[in-house]
Amino acid sequence: MYRSRADCSRNFPQTSYTANQWSKGQGWSRCTACVHGHHSDTPAARPSDSGRYNHSTNATFPSDALDNPFASGAFRWVAMGSYDSGDRAGQPCVAPWFKTAPVF
């Protein structure tokens, strides 16, 4: 659904408005770019890698770490190891796995 902005009358999708501005209605709402003073609808020159992507492929877990996990949840065990390759070589990592017995 598109709506024209109050400031410049250009049409933008609902994702270009905050919930508060969208609730003001047609002709009264201002897009995020007008509210914050910058154009958020223009794509960044380069996608941001904020640490959410892991380019490492191998990790090592000591056998005692797998035999004695350091944490557990309602359905999973968690062991700590370290990355062997990629950008994060030598950094710590974790491996969660599901419990096999009934956990009720």
Render pLDDT for 42-74 as a digit per residue (tens, 0 to 9): 554 555 666 677 778 899 999 899 899 999 988
Identify the pLDDT of residue 1.
54
Confirm whether 18 is domain-assigned: yes
Confirm whether 45 is domain-assigned: no
Confirm whether 41 is domain-assigned: no
Q: How far is CA 30 from CA 19, 37, 46, 61, in A?
A: 11, 11, 27, 53
Place 96 in a pLDDT band, splitting at 50, 70 and 90.
very high
Boundaries of domain holding 87: 59-98
DSSP codes, 65-94? HHHS-SEE-SSEEEEEEEE-SSTTTTSEEE
Place 5 in a pLDDT band, splitting at 50, 70 and 90.
low
Identify the pLDDT of residue 21.
74
Q: Which amino acid is at 97?
A: W
Q: How many domains is the chain partitioned into structurally? A: 2
- b (16+ CB within 10 A) / e for 19-28: eebeeeeeee
Confirm whether 26 is domain-assigned: yes
Structure pTM?
0.47
Confirm whether 90 is domain-assigned: yes
